[in-house]
């Protein structure tokens, strides 16, 4: 699932609009739990962090709210790329939560993921994801 480009009016490329029914259906999969914010660092390596502070903000326009920790060293690396995905973890993904919830390099060691055709990093087994 992809969101529209918030900077569309600023001369950037416009992504296709998101289907409101798909957006609502995706967000309905998250009542409470843990998400992983993920992207790629400046060196192209995967970067991610666990984030429990995630919620739907608006259906029109389609917006979500994420609140990474102030002391996160991963979030600035993701933020500089200008693009990230939100992966809603399944109940049996405690190992992914633990791996991406710790500090330090190599968080993705042992975590299976893929890059979508649109360049998003998606955690294998996530019950929903958005970019």
Domain chopping of the chain, boundaries: 20-130
Nearest C-alpha neighbor of 72 from the set 95, 42, 49: 49
How confident is residue 12, by pLDDT bands cut at 50, 70 and 90?
very low
pTM of the model: 0.74
Statement: residue 21 has pLDDT above 70? yes
User: What totals of helices (H) and strands (E) does the chain contain, helices first?
Assistant: 3, 8
Structural contact between residues 11 and 4, judged by C-beta atoms closer than 8 angstroms: no
The predicted model gives 33-56 an average pLDDT of 89
Q: From 3.40.630.30, 2.30.110.10, 1.20.1260.10, 1.10.260.40, which CATH number describes the 20-130 domain?
A: 2.30.110.10
Mean model confidence pLDDT for the chain = 83
């Amino acid at each position: 699932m992809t969101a529209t480009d918030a900077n569309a009016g600023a001369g950037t490329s416009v992504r296709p609009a998101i289907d409101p029914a798909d957006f609502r259906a995706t967000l309905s999969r998250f009542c409470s739990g843990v998400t992983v914010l993920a992207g790629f660092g400046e060196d192209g390596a995967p970067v991610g962090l666990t984030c429990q502070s995630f919620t739907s903000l608006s259906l029109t326009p389609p917006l979500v709210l994420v609140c990474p920790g102030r002391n996160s060293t991963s979030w600035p690396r993701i933020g500089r790329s200008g693009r990230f995905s939100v992966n809603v973890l399944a109940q049996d993904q405690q190992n992914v939560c633990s791996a991406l919830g710790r500090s330090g390099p190599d968080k993705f060691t042992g975590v299976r993921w893929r890059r979508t055709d649109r360049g998003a990093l998606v955690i294998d087994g996530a019950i929903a994801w958005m970019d």
